[in-house]
Copies of this chain bind each other. A is one copy, B any other.
């Protein structure tokens, strides 16, 4: 079935070979880190299944597997913030993907920020029973999620 990948039968080839032989995890997913081709910063961390990965390569628009909605997710279908794929790389043991995308002046985070990573964790010695208080490194939302998503359910799960 998986005809676009080389079989993983040799560690040397997986690490140093030229053929794509990705490893999907126990849920048939591979983690994907998406960076902003304009700023270089990380926009989001998601997952792809085989179909999402193939669609992304072929259409050059990011498709993910939504774990909360349990379906293929063509990013931007609702919000309009489509991710145009500039480059995709894979790591040494071929079990994670780095994708660089162009989102123009848009956003990537359903909360309204350009990047999902808008909070920074304090570093250093932790006192007992202390809750860690983060800093908002991105203070301004790019869009209003209430206006964009209307009655769509929030994908965040507790």
Interface residues of A (CB under 8 A from B): 3-6, 8-11, 14-16, 18-20, 23, 31, 33, 35, 40-42, 44-45, 54, 57-58, 60, 85, 87-93, 96, 98, 109-111, 113, 116-126, 128-137, 154-158
Say whether B54 contacts A111, CB under 8 Å. Answer: no
> So how many copies of this chain end up in the complex?
2
Say whether B4 contacts A57, CB under 8 Å. Answer: no
**Please, could you name 5 A-B residue pairs with CB atoms under 8 Å apart, sorted by A?**
A11-B156, A18-B135, A57-B126, A57-B132, A91-B116
| Main secondary structure on A side of the interface with B | loop
Say whether A110 contacts B92, CB under 8 Å. Answer: yes
- Name which residue of chain B comes closest to A89, CB basis: B117
- Name which residue of chain B comes closest to A91, CB basis: B116
Q: A31 to chain B: which residues have CB within 8 Å?
A: 31, 45
